[in-house]
Amino acid sequence: MQYTANGEASDWMLSEHGVYAMSPEIGSSNSNSDVFFISKAENIRITMEQNFVWIEYIIIKLQPQL
């Protein structure tokens, strides 16, 4: 889906605080995820299950190394 936007939280975090952030748009193979908001709990669960592996990977990689 293509649309224009003036920015979002990730842009603000970088410009105001120097924090790199990301706001990925996720979807699933379920056609119900093509709507802007996923309203049914079952479809949210499916979408999160299908995207969990890469989301978890990114979160782990972004953790500071102590």
Per-residue pLDDT reduced to its tens digit, 34-56: 666 777 888 888 888 888 998 88
Count of domains observed in the chain: 1
Question: What is the domain extent for residue 49?
Answer: 9-62
User: How many other CB atoms sit within 10 Å of the CB of residue 38?
Assistant: 20
Are 24 and 9 in contact by the 8 Å Cβ rule? The answer is no
Task: Report yes or no on 15 lying in a domain.
Answer: yes
Q: How far apart are the C-alpha atoms of 23 and 37, rounded to whole Å?
A: 15
Task: Report yes or no on 4 lying in a domain.
Answer: no
Task: Report yes or no on 3 lying in a domain.
Answer: no
pLDDT-based confidence at residue 8 (cuts at 50, 70, 90): confident
Residue 33 in this model has a pLDDT that exceeds 60: no
Q: How far apart are the C-alpha atoms of 51 and 22, rounded to whole Å?
A: 15
Task: Report yes or no on 26 lying in a domain.
Answer: yes
Task: Report yes or no on 32 lying in a domain.
Answer: yes
Task: Report yes or no on 1 lying in a domain.
Answer: no
Largest CA distance in the chain: 42
Q: Which two tokens stand for residue 42?
A: 């079952």
pTM for the whole thing? 0.51
